[in-house]
Chain A
Amino acid sequence: MNIQEYISSGVLELYICGALTEEESKEVSTELKKYPEIEKEVEQIENSLLQLSSAVAPYDPVKMYAIIKNKLHLEDNPKTIPIHRKKKKSNIVLYLGWAASIALLIGLFSVLNDRNQLRENLNVVNAQKAQMEQQIDDANASAEKKEELLSIFRDKNILTVPLEGQKVAPEAYAAVHWDKATNKVYIDAKNLPTPPEDKEYQVWSLTLEPLTPTSIGMLSSFTEDENKIFMLDNTNSSQAFGITLEPKGGSKTPTMEQLYTLGMVKNS
């Protein structure tokens, strides 16, 4: 069996959610006992789901355990047998002994408490550290991407075509940076309004006389893309570029009423 393929098939996620048939579940249980890699994967999926639903809980129900314990009449300790003392001994030494042991106990408890508190704090700090490392990674990746974009725009062989806002969005603006040598276009869409959830921007290459639009691609995951620079392939000998708002997945021909920006290529 190819373990990697098995893991990436998605069967383990369904297994933990309890979404498989009884038969399929049994199969997974068998594989998991055979291959430690699979078991490890299952643990990790399970832990992430445990955390996800813990996050949804109104609060940590740890105190509710006492109620359940009561309902089930559970007792942790075997019954303590009462001890009868023969007679009262009012002895100063005895009292002092008791007082000393109580003081010692209190001391022990507070040390124990502190220790637990420290351990908990350490866990929190570790989690925060991991979080910060992630943020630094993200920031570095984003900086690298910006660097790369800058070098593209500074290339003298790139032709920049400004696209002006049209009737539906006069304040919109975009630019196409066209690298004819590699047949790539970089769409700078920072000044386009955020599209509604069920719509996406579609980029068109236009040739004039007769006017022929050719789709060169969608600006997918517009909201998530921080730089709002999208790379698309363009092998057309475009004379103009336009961007329209279309239903998700794109349209065969542009919806002209939803033409957001348009710009002509200047022949140099």
Chain B
Amino acid sequence: MQPDGLIAELQNKNPKAFERIYERYSESLFGVIYTIVRDQRIAEEVLQDSFIKIWDNAEAYNSSKGRFFTWALNIARNTAIDKTRSKAFKNSKKNLTADFFVDILEDKSSFSNRVDAIGIKKYIKALKPYCEQIIELLYFKGFTQAETAKELDTPLGTIKIRSRNCIQSLRDILVK
């Protein structure tokens, strides 16, 4: 369930609710931010900034526009992308190495308790090459459907079907 009560409490500026929201979403957002900035220290900074924005702007979230997670995800991705555009970042990161979230996962050996590590590793192994790109762009990089279609030179409808298939196979492995 989307924790509607908790979100309402957050909008009432209840610090306890904020802490619970942080516990629920911070690791995921940290992961998304890290795929964008590729630097642990900078990712930490961006995560803090993102949650400060979430606290400050919580009233702006409205469930008729979308999911709370999507709203928070947008804040995190935008904050991270802004960071990569700053001069200091560009100077320090002339050559970013790994390209996809898949590369990070392939290299990673330890996961927190919340992650079904065996499942994730299995998923990465079986992942179709087009899924790597689609999930990377749509989820981790925040491309819109139209932008993704253009970037991959693929029809809009195909993007929709493929993103369904790619996420479906993730669910098949994780939710058993």
Q: Hey, which bits of chain A sit against chain B, CB under 8 A? A: 8-11, 13-22, 25-26, 28-30, 42-62, 64-65, 67-69, 71-72, 74-76, 120, 123-124, 127-128, 130-131, 133-134, 197, 224
Contact = CB atoms under 8 A, between A and B. Distances in A.
Contact of B160 (A11, A52, A61): A11
Contacts of A8: 164
* Chain B binding surface SS class: helix
A134 B29 CA distance: 29
A130 B111 CA distance: 18
B176 A130 contact: yes
B52 interface: yes
A67 B174 CA distance: 32
Given A57-B28, A58-B43, A61-B30, 11 more contacts: A17-B70, A28-B66, A48-B170, A50-B69, A52-B31, A53-B31, A54-B112, A55-B105, A57-B30, A67-B48, A131-B176
B25 A55 contact: no
B152 interface: no
Contacts of A45: 167, 171
B120 to A, nearest CB: 5
29 contacts: A10-B160, A10-B162, A10-B163, A10-B164, A13-B160, A18-B73, A18-B74, A18-B142, A19-B163, A20-B145, A25-B65, A48-B174, A49-B28, A52-B31, A52-B139, A52-B170, A53-B35, A54-B27, A55-B108, A56-B31, A57-B31, A57-B34, A57-B112, A58-B34, A60-B113, A61-B47, A64-B47, A69-B15, A74-B18
B138 A14 contact: yes
Contacts of A56: 31-32, 34-35, 101, 104-105, 108, 140
B44 interface: yes
Given A15-B67, A48-B170, A64-B47, A124 B117 contact: no
B44 A42 contact: no
- Interface hub of B31, B135, B143 (most chain A Cβ within 10 A): B31
B144 interface: yes
Given A53-B31, A69-B15, A17 B163 contact: yes
B138 A55 contact: no
Interface residues of B, number: 74
Contacts of B85: none
Given A13-B167, A19-B145, A26-B64, A71 B48 contact: yes
A51 B31 CA distance: 10
Contact of A74 (B15, B65, B117): B15
Contacts of A14: 138, 145, 159-160, 163
B26 A65 contact: yes
Contacts of A54: 27-28, 30-31, 111-112, 114-115
Contacts of A130: 176
A16 B67 contact: yes
A93 B138 CA distance: 67
Contacts of B19: 65, 69, 76
Contacts of A21: 144
B88 interface: no
Given A48-B167, A62-B23, A131-B118, A53 B47 contact: no
A8 B26 CA distance: 29
Nearest to B112: A60
A107 B19 CA distance: 27
A263 to B, nearest CB: 32
B167 A49 contact: yes
Nearest to A65: B22
Contact of A68 (B35, B51, B104, B118): B51
A67 B41 CA distance: 14
Contacts of B66: 15, 18, 25, 28-29
A42 to B, nearest CB: 7
